[in-house]
Structure 1
């Protein structure tokens, strides 16, 4: 009986521990990923996720401290929650906007001109909720103990051969071809229409110069015939002998 009681107590304790473990909320954290996680890579897109840890309030602002080697002027906002805007700060940037719904993660992307030459870089992040609660993910890894509020860390591969560090402060523009304007399918090209209309009108209109030339030629021919006839009559009268009565 005693052994059976002990077994039942142990089983009950284990079940209670399992229930409490499942009921406890998962620890929230902030993360960062890159489409090109390589030192000195250029025009890299970084994706950030701040997991919600409040069941009653939503995110309204994120403050990110950039690592050494990335200047605030090297950053441009990519995707973000609707209505959120990025503002550069002295050591990084601030992204804020209308409060998200409670329990909704805050996700955004930025485009960085160039990553620094390092093995890993950290982005200290401070999160603010609509009820004023602040969560700081700013602890850097190091030492025996794992940090309770670790900053998002991005591990980088070695730089590509020949990669160099460019000037900071101005993002490298991504070249994109400029499309030539294409006339609308419903609107004919005005230049082509005007040209075509003029050509058709010219073809349909008689040639004024040609008509005038024909008339002048006919008049000159008639005058020449009259002069020739008069000369012939005069000559004939002069050579015919007078009749004798």
Structure 2
């Protein structure tokens, strides 16, 4: 005699698979959303200081497309706080075009006044070049001669894909807002004391020979802390990426719990 109060095993199996599948799908979607949200074009230069020189500025470019490769990167340099000179690092598989603009206010340097400065660097993949594949990233660098006496530098970038689409990383936060735009422009923080500079010590008291006395532990520790803080400030997206990843994991776990709860309710209904 058949017990009609029990759900047949095949049906229970289907319910279990559906509930677990919905929870896993929620987890995957949330985790994927967190990963995409943090994959911005960013800029870093740990040794860059206000008024410093010979700092390597690097742009990290991830490919966010599901199928298209990144084949171009155009970076606009600020002209209101210009960089006196730029030397672009050669990159295999990419060509580069450098554009200059006349400055409203010339830059005073040890070699005289600079009336024109680089306003745009345009990298394009060469014929037959691989570009940047989906799920990968690459880096583009240049050396800044004399940096402006500024706290931050905002670069605007346009990323080009093999399917003809582009992503403009040019948005800036609204005044007084701490919310990050959907496509934020890369911002470089120039932190005093973040690294070495060829311009020498600020007070001019140092020499190339240095001193025979070792630095005190407290001074060395302070310099190390300042360097670490500057590195973190130059990469604000790292903290945001970690926060997004944690949020995705927590929400994914909640999705699994909700799926299991739905399964329990379904089994109880069919058991009555």
User: TM-score range with shorter-chain normalisation?
Assistant: 0.5 to 0.7
Q: CA deviation at 1:89?
A: 4.6
**Rg (Cα) greater in structure:** 1
Q: CA deviation at 1:84?
A: 2.4
| TM-score between both structures, scaled by the size of structure 2 | 0.50
1:156 alignment partner in structure 2:
190
The number of equivalent residue pairs is 157
Instruction: Flag as ranges the 4+ runs of structure 1 deviating above 4 A.
Output: 8-16
Match of 2:27, SS?
Answer: helix
Q: For 1:149 and 1:61, how far apart are their aligned partners in 2?
A: 17
Match of 1:44 among 31, 55, 65: 55
Gaps of 5+ in 1: 1-7, 164-245
| TM-score between both structures, scaled by the size of structure 1 | 0.55
Q: Which has the bigger relative contact order, CA under 8 A and spacing at least 6?
A: 2
Match of 1:84, SS?
Answer: strand
Flag the structure with higher strand content.
Answer: 2
Query: Structure 1 residues 96, 19: closer, same or farther in 2, change over 3 A?
Result: closer
Match of 1:92 among 120, 127, 145: 120
Match of 1:131 among 163, 170, 190: 163
Q: For 1:19 and 1:44, how far apart are their aligned partners in 2?
A: 40
Q: CA deviation at 1:44?
A: 1.1
Q: For 1:130 and 1:49, how far apart are their aligned partners in 2?
A: 18
Q: For 2:203 and 2:122, how far apart are their aligned partners in 1?
A: 34
Q: For 2:92 and 2:165, how far apart are their aligned partners in 1?
A: 19
Q: For 1:37 and 1:115, how far apart are their aligned partners in 2?
A: 8
